[in-house]
Chains A and B, each alone.
Chain A
Amino acid sequence: GAVVSQHPSRVICKSGTSVKIECRSLDFQATTMFWYRQFPKQSLMLMATSNEGSKATYEQGVEKDKFLINHASLTLSTLTVTSAHPEDSSFYICSAKTSGGANEQFFGPGTRLTVL
């Protein structure tokens, strides 16, 4: 099946620094990628939708200047958490969707961000 990877799997950073998370579709071209955030014992919350070559669409309440998303190619999307604070500590998950076929999304393994 289709594989989506994320890097890093785990990151710890100091408050005020920026962190970049990569999401790659390894064996297919992803026209659309989604970014989610999941706090402990909660469900996934959609943060934004990104289409290759265009600006990301953010969900209500998600600061686009804080969570920078770039989808420069059909296999790579990046999420940069700028000026991270402890409340940004969470599990970040990406998913990728192909342009054709069944309406199925393939999820990455997630990135655990801890801001000290």
Chain B
Amino acid sequence: DIQMTQSPSSLSASVGDRVTITCRASQGISTYLAWFQQKPGKAPKPLMYAASVLQSGVPSKFSGSRSGTDFTLTISSLQPEDFATYYCQQYHSVPFTFGPGTRLDMK
């Protein structure tokens, strides 16, 4: 199975900050990587797929990149609605594993 790790596990930031979350796959997954945002008590919201393609309706302040088996999600200019937990998921091969999540909260 492909293992997904995320760093940091939690992050405190302020409105207006730029933050980066990293996701690492235990083996090559090409660009079969998605990002999700989840707020407490709500379903996950798809943000991005193919490592860097924004889901329809997601603002361009979210961006993604890949370097080998390392993937990053960057959020520029944080707004109050961006404070949430973020998950990556590989869909290269079954089982389609998620990372453990990164909790982003307000400083």
Answer yes or no: are A and B bound together in one complex: no
